[in-house]
Amino acid sequence: MTKVIKKVVLTGGPCGGKTTGALKIKEHLQNYGWHTIIVPETATEIIKAGINPLEMKQNLDFQENLFGLQLEKERRFEALARGYKSEKVLVLYDRGAPDGEAYTSPDEWDMIMNSGDQTFQTVMNRYDAVLHMVSAADGAEEFYTLANNVARREGTIEIALEQERKTKEIYIGHPHYVVIDNSTDFEKKIRRAVDAICSVIGIPETFEIERKFLIELPDIGKLKRMPRVRRDYIRQEYLLQTDDASEDGVQEVRVRMRGRPNDWSYTKTTKIGKGIKRVEREESISEREYINNLALADPSLRPIVKNRYCCLYENQHFEVDIYPDAKEQAICEIELRHESDEIMFPEFIRIIREVTDDNRYRNREMARENPLV
């Protein structure tokens, strides 16, 4: 059996249920043969060791060292996971390296990233998924408390809400980003977190529940001015399929480069099944592997080129794809945990119709003939 290691960030605002969620996830996954490694929060470890960030001469010093320690911890724990006997290992990080951005100014964060020779894509690619547990300060105020973590600094509901907002915005643009809000009681909230993790690692299989909508071309200027909108250039190409792959139900295999100059990520994705619910297998690949795969590109299909704008609205992660030659229309996609999830669209998205099951709007078909042009 091939060893499988999945790396997931469990983050969120103060008093969001991360600790309980991590333990429930570990307990549940062991029933399916998964060993879970819970990596403790680095900032809490530093503070409990006697380093008060409020007493540092510069906030930058604290956050830069925190960032470096986090990256090193992740490297070491991943090495331990590779050496562990279990063939299926989940490394669950209590907060990830990017979380420090919520406690710094934009200039400070740029300096930290540059000092660590990191970019948005290189940091995000460390994680297979990100799970954000919304703070009790947002929708469950009666349960908000500082008593369960002596390292917490958010004294009031107002401060906690601001920290919640900043933390939630950090991971916008990650391809597998799930926000678990307080729309249910705490027990169901934890259960939703467990379900989300199961979906990520494939219990029983990794199903992508994705809905796609044809929308009016939004005002690009307005879109760019929205707070914390992430824009990435995407180029993806579809590979020739073998007869064996078709017999196994493979619908498509693609390779993709995503990001911006000097900050690229590369993935290879295999999709099995049809409609709203299909199995998706995704793996990160190197630039060289990406280039080598291009030799297998289907010559009958054009590369798909688009700009993707990612944003959060009502705790849902939206992706709006703008195609260079499309003058009046665009595509909006959202990945859901359950088929029955209600979607709350931001006001700048004007729906023409849903096209989830319309094959003309599948990217593979659009590589043959783009209906938006």
Sorted by where each starts, the structural domains of the chain and their CATH numbers stand as 4-201 (3.40.50.300), 210-366 (2.40.320.10)
pLDDT at 248 over 80: no
Instruction: State the residue for tokens 């190197």.
Output: 286
pLDDT at 9 over 60: yes
What's the mean pLDDT in 313-334?
Answer: 93
The tokens for 155 are 């004294």
Q: What is the pLDDT of residue 340?
A: 80
Beta strand segments in the chain, E: 4-12, 35-39, 88-94, 129-133, 177-180, 207-216, 230-238, 250-260, 263-272, 277-284, 304-313, 316-322, 329-336, 351-354
pLDDT at 368 over 80: yes
> CA 199 to CA 196: how far, in whole Å?
5
Neighbouring residues of 189: CB distance < 8 A, sequence distance ≥ 6: 17, 133, 180, 181, 182
> CA 235 to CA 185: how far, in whole Å?
42
What's the mean pLDDT in 223-241?
Answer: 88
- The strand order across the sheet containing 129-133 reads 35-39, 88-94, 4-12, 129-133, 177-180
Range from 136-150, 203-217, 254-268 carrying the lowest mean pLDDT:
136-150
Range from 135-144, 184-193, 291-300, 344-353 carrying the lowest mean pLDDT:
135-144
Q: Indicate the length of the chain as a whole number.
A: 373
Q: What is the pLDDT of residue 217?
A: 95
Neighbouring residues of 174: CB distance < 8 A, sequence distance ≥ 6: 124, 127, 129, 130
Mean pLDDT of the chain, nearest integer: 87
Neighbouring residues of 244: CB distance < 8 A, sequence distance ≥ 6: none
Range from 108-112, 192-196, 222-226, 283-287 carrying the lowest mean pLDDT:
222-226
The pTM assigned to this predicted structure is 0.79
The string of DSSP codes covering 229-278 is: -EEEEEEEEEBPPPHHHHHTTEEEEEEEEEEETTEEEEEEEEEES-TTEE
Reduced to 3 states, what is the DSSP secondary structure of residue 207? strand
Q: What is the pLDDT of residue 143?
A: 56
What's the mean pLDDT in 212-225?
Answer: 90
Range from 103-112, 142-151, 259-268, 290-299 carrying the lowest mean pLDDT:
142-151
Quickly state the pLDDT bin for 201 (edges 50, 70, 90): confident
Q: What is the pLDDT of residue 221?
A: 85
Instruction: State the residue for tokens 């999945």.
Output: 6
Quickly state the pLDDT bin for 250 (edges 50, 70, 90): low
φ, ψ of residue 178 to 5 degrees: the values are -120, 130
> CA 218 to CA 330: how far, in whole Å?
8
- Rg of the chain over Cα atoms, rounded to whole angstroms, equals 21
Quickly state the pLDDT bin for 146 (edges 50, 70, 90): low
Quickly state the pLDDT bin for 126 (edges 50, 70, 90): very high
